[in-house]
Amino acid sequence: MWNKLKRPLQAVLLLVIVALCVLQVAPIQNWQTTPIWKWHFAPVNQSIHLGLDLQGGVQVLLQLEPTETVPKITPDIQDQIVQVIDQRVNGLGVSEPVITKVGSDRVQVDLPGVKDPDQVEQTLKEEAVLAFKIVPEAVSARANSDKKYAADPNGAYKDSGPIVYAGADLKGAQAAFGQAGDPEIDFQTKDPKKFGQLTRENIGKLLGIFLDKKFVSDATIQGVITDSGLIHGTFSEDDTIRIANELNAGALPVPTKIIEKAEVGPTLGADDLKKSLYASILGLVLVLVFMAVVYRLPGVLADLALIVYVLALLALLAAAHAVLTLPGIAGFVLSIGMAVDANVLIFERMKEELWAGKSLRTAVKIGFQRAFSSVFDSHFTTIVGAATLFLLGTGTVKGFAYTLFWGTVFSLVTATVVTRFFVDVVVDNDLVTNQKAYGA
């Protein structure tokens, strides 16, 4: 019973896997609201994220500078900088930023698809220290009428009372719009009881909000405020987004200095992507032709398995939200060579068994069994090397290692499982029995 159902079940499973891979790489758009005859697939570049070198953007190298309180840049400080910057640039809507430590006191930030480098530079450098103070009425009147006095750290900030609540006590902040449509910032507190006590003890007084020691706005405390509040000011919509992101990320533990900033134009990135894709497609076509010419029917079946392999790897990149870079494409192409190498070992072993006078079914069975150890060993060593590169490497080296690692894993599976399935279907059903079709 199982022998009769084995091949149909394997075929169904393979079709399901291929369908899922296709939908992951090129998902159907608006399928919930669109009739089936109007369905269409989304472009592949919408599901697979491209790196800085392929779609353009900005690359920034930051120098971390010690202070009196932090006299030495440690790996922990670097990690904190990376975390804060990651939160900030993600808030800008940058697609898959790549932030890596360089040496012992630098951090490199790659921002694909960035259109406003100046905004990024400002976001990376600012500290966004928020403070709440009780403001005397005279100071409030002057700060609201004199912008220079409001922006001077020795002005309204100095003339107000002590800090009664700090930005570090905030739970979160979001850009929003007020009832009149003016941009504002909503915030939530970590300790509602503490903020409630502050407002309870100062009802009727002015609570001023200062950002980086600059007066932002103030308001009369009319009641007890516990878990949330609003920051009003003369903000643009972009200002509220930037400030909210900075408040959520917190302050940088040490000052940073931009020592290098390079802009990669989208034209250069598109040209690199086009040439890389052409080279990849050409390499794949040459491999397919070679297999079909040299190994005939098994080569054609291996080509089908290779197509499954390509779909599976692209689906993994899309599902994992991996960033595809030029070195990543190189790892992809190299893993295709590994997949072909496995098939070459298997088919050569099959031909030897056929030359020895074995039947077709026996040659296929023995060929796959005896070639497996060699195939596994060659793939395993590559997998170990790719894993080491990924764990110890940085930047684009990780992209190369990632595609090489998973590409080699998938090539091992497709060569020993998918190709075997296709060959078994043909041989077990006597679809082609002439040994010449198998290269013998």
pLDDT at 384: 92
Residues of the chain with CATH 1.20.1640.10: 6-46+265-438
Report residue 191's pLDDT band, with 50, 70 and 90 as the boundaries. confident
Nearest Cα to Cα of residue 439 among 288, 289, 344, 297: 297
Q: Determine the residue type at 297.
A: L
Report residue 428's pLDDT band, with 50, 70 and 90 as the boundaries. confident
% of the chain surpassing 90 pLDDT? 3
Q: What is the CATH T-level fold of the domain 130-249, as seen in this structure?
A: Gyrase A; domain 2 (3.30.1360)
Tell which wins on pLDDT, 211 or 140: 140
- Cα 78 off chain centre by: 20
Average pLDDT over every residue of 217-230: 78
- The C-alpha atoms of residue 402 and residue 330 are separated, in whole angstroms, by 11
Place of tokens 């291996």: 302
CB contact at 8 A, 135 and 156: yes
Q: Tell me which of 3.30.9.10, 1.20.1640.10, 1.10.1040.10, 3.40.640.10 is the CATH number of domain 6-46+265-438.
A: 1.20.1640.10
- The C-alpha atoms of residue 437 and residue 425 are separated, in whole angstroms, by 15
Q: Identify the H or E element spanning 4.
A: helix 2-25
pLDDT at 245: 62
- The C-alpha atoms of residue 68 and residue 42 are separated, in whole angstroms, by 54
pLDDT at 246: 57
Radius of gyration from C-alpha coordinates of the chain: 31
Average pLDDT over every residue of 197-212: 83
CB contact at 8 A, 238 and 119: yes
pLDDT digits (tens, 9 = 90+) for 13-25: 888 988 888 888 7
Tell which wins on pLDDT, 136 or 225: 136
pLDDT at 247: 60
Mean pLDDT of the chain: 79
% of the chain surpassing 70 pLDDT? 80
DSSP 434: -
Residues of the chain with CATH 3.30.70.3400: 57-126+256-264
Residues of the chain with CATH 3.30.1360.200: 130-249
Average pLDDT over every residue of 363-392: 87
pLDDT at 388: 92
State the CB neighbour count (10 A cutoff) for residue 334. 17
Question: Does residue 375 surpass a pLDDT of 80?
Answer: yes
Question: Does residue 226 surpass a pLDDT of 70?
Answer: yes
Nearest Cα to Cα of residue 371 among 306, 438, 420: 420
Nearest Cα to Cα of residue 344 among 411, 431, 430: 411
Question: Does residue 417 surpass a pLDDT of 80?
Answer: yes
Report residue 58's pLDDT band, with 50, 70 and 90 as the boundaries. confident
- The C-alpha atoms of residue 140 and residue 294 are separated, in whole angstroms, by 86
- 225: tokens are 């405020």
- In sign, the C-alpha dihedral spanning 411, 417, 418, 423 is positive
- The C-alpha atoms of residue 361 and residue 427 are separated, in whole angstroms, by 6
pLDDT at 269: 57
pLDDT digits (tens, 9 = 90+) for 82-136: 777 776 666 555 556 778 888 888 888 887 776 666 766 766 666 556 678 899 9
Question: Does residue 305 surpass a pLDDT of 80?
Answer: yes
Residue 11 CA: distances (Å) to CA of 15, 16, 298, 303, 380: 6, 9, 18, 17, 27
* H-state helical runs in 67-223: 75-91, 117-125, 137-145, 147-151, 156-159, 192-201
56 dihedral zone (left: phi>0; alpha: psi -120 to 50; beta)? left
Least confident range from 258-267, 280-289, 358-367, 368-377: namely: 258-267
Collapsed DSSP state (helix, strand, coil) of residue 165: strand
pLDDT at 5: 75
Q: Tell me which of 3.40.50.300, 3.30.2020.30, 3.30.930.10, 3.30.70.3400 is the CATH number of domain 57-126+256-264.
A: 3.30.70.3400
β-pair type (49-50, 98-102): unpaired
